[in-house]
Amino acid sequence: MSLATEFAPAKVNLTLSVGRARADGLHPLSSLVAFADWGDELEAREADTLSLSLAGERGPALADEQQNLVIKAAFALRAAAEQPTRGATLTLTKRLPIAAGLGGGSADAAAALRLLNRFWDIGFSTRQLAEIGSVVGADVPACVHARPLLMSGIGETITPLIAWPELPAVIVNPGKPVPTGPVFKAYDDTHPALLSAERPPVAGAVSDALSVIAAGRNDLEPPAIGLEPAVAQTLEALAAAPGVALARMSGSGASCVGLCESLDAAQGAAQALQRAQPGWTVQAVTLQAAA
C-alpha cells in the first residue's frame, strides 16, 4: 500500500459528568459522546522514516508543538507491534479549531492508530488500538471507536451504545481557545462530589435522544464560562438560533453544540449564526448513529 487516508471526526461531549480528582490528579468522568461528519484528515505515504507535515488553514497553529499526538500515537503503535523501524510520511490536514473541546488532537491520534494499523498491515483489533491509545491521551480510546458511546473511568472505559439515532446539529466555536488544565483547576476549586455510575442510554428517535441529553449536563461548563465569557455568549446565541432544540458546551470548551430535530434546521441555524457572527467557526453536522 503506497497511499492511505483516514478521517478524524470531531468528538462532541453531549453530556459530561466529572468527579472529584483522584490522588494522582486525574478526574473520573462519565460522558455521552458522539462523532460528527466534520473533522481533520490524515494521509500516509510509504517512507523509510516516520515524519509528519501539517496542512490546512489551522495546520500552522500546531507547528510549534514539540511532539504532535499523531507522532506520539505512531511511536506507541510501533512499540506495541514490536516493529520500531516502520516508517511513513504523514500529512495532517487540520480543519478543526485548536483547544476547542472537540477532541481534535485525540481524534488525530486515533486516526493515526487506525490508519497505520492498516497501512503497516499490523492487524490489531479496535479494542487493542484503544488500549494503545490510552497511553497517548485520555480521550484517544473513545476517538479510536469513533461511534456513539459512554466514556467512563478516566476515559479508558468505553461502552458503545446499542441504540442511538443520527443527530442533526450545529457546532460553533467563537475563536477563543480554552486550555483544559485551567478549566479543571477552576472546577476543582468548587470541591466537586464523588461521581455516581451512569448506565449507557438507549434512544431510538431524535426526540428520545434529546430528552436523554437534556437530563444530563456538562460539569465543566460553569468553570469554562468563568474563565472565558465567550462560552456563555456562544451558548446564548445557539439557544436563540432558529431550529435549535438544545445547546450545550462540548468538552472543556469553547466549542458548543446546538442539537436540532432535522438537518434542514441545523443548516438554517448555521446560516443565521454565521451571518450574525462572521468571525466564528460555524458548521452544520450530522452526529453519527449507533451501528
pLDDT for 131 equals 97
pLDDT for 196 equals 87
pLDDT for 189 equals 96
| Cα distance between residue 149 and residue 289, in whole Å | 10
Which superfamily is assigned to 167-287 in CATH?
Answer: GHMP kinase, C-terminal domain (3.30.70.890)
**How does the average pLDDT of the chain come out, rounded?**
95
- The set of catalytic residues is 11, 139
| Cα distance between residue 246 and residue 274, in whole Å | 18
What are the mean pLDDT values of the chain's consecutive 10-residue runs (291 residues total)?
A: 93 97 93 98 97 83 72 97 96 92 94 98 98 96 98 95 98 94 95 90 96 97 97 98 97 96 97 97 98 80
Is the pTM of the predicted complex or chain greater than 0.85? yes
Q: With helix as H, strand as E and coil as C, how does the chain read?
A: CCEEEEEEEEEEEEEEEECCCCCCCCCCEEEEEEEEEEEEEEEEECCCCEEEEEECCCHHHHCCCCCCHHHHHHHHHHHHHCCCCCCEEEEEECCCCCCCCCCHHHHHHHHHHHHHHHHCCCCCCHHHHHHHHCCCCCCHHHHHHCCCEEEECCCCEEEECCCCCCEEEEEEECCCCCCHHHHHHHHHCCCCCCCCCCCCCCCCCHHHHHHHHHCCCECCHHHHHHHCCHHHHHHHHHHHCCCEEEEEECCCCCCEEEEECCHHHHHHHHHHHHHHCCCCEEEEEEECCCC
pLDDT for 59 equals 64
pLDDT for 291 equals 80
Using alpha carbons, select from 183, 38, 30 the residue that is nearest to residue 107.
38
pLDDT for 265 equals 97
pLDDT for 65 equals 61
Instruction: Give the start-to-end residue ranges of the domains of the chain.
Output: 3-160, 167-287
CATH code: domain 3-160 is 3.30.230.10
Q: 99-130: per-residue pLDDT in tens? A: 899 999 999 999 999 999 999 999 999 999 99
pLDDT for 282 equals 98
pLDDT for 64 equals 63
pLDDT for 99 equals 82
How far does Cα 58 stand from its chain's mean position? 16
As beta bridge partners, residue 285 has 169
pLDDT for 107 equals 97
pLDDT for 2 equals 85
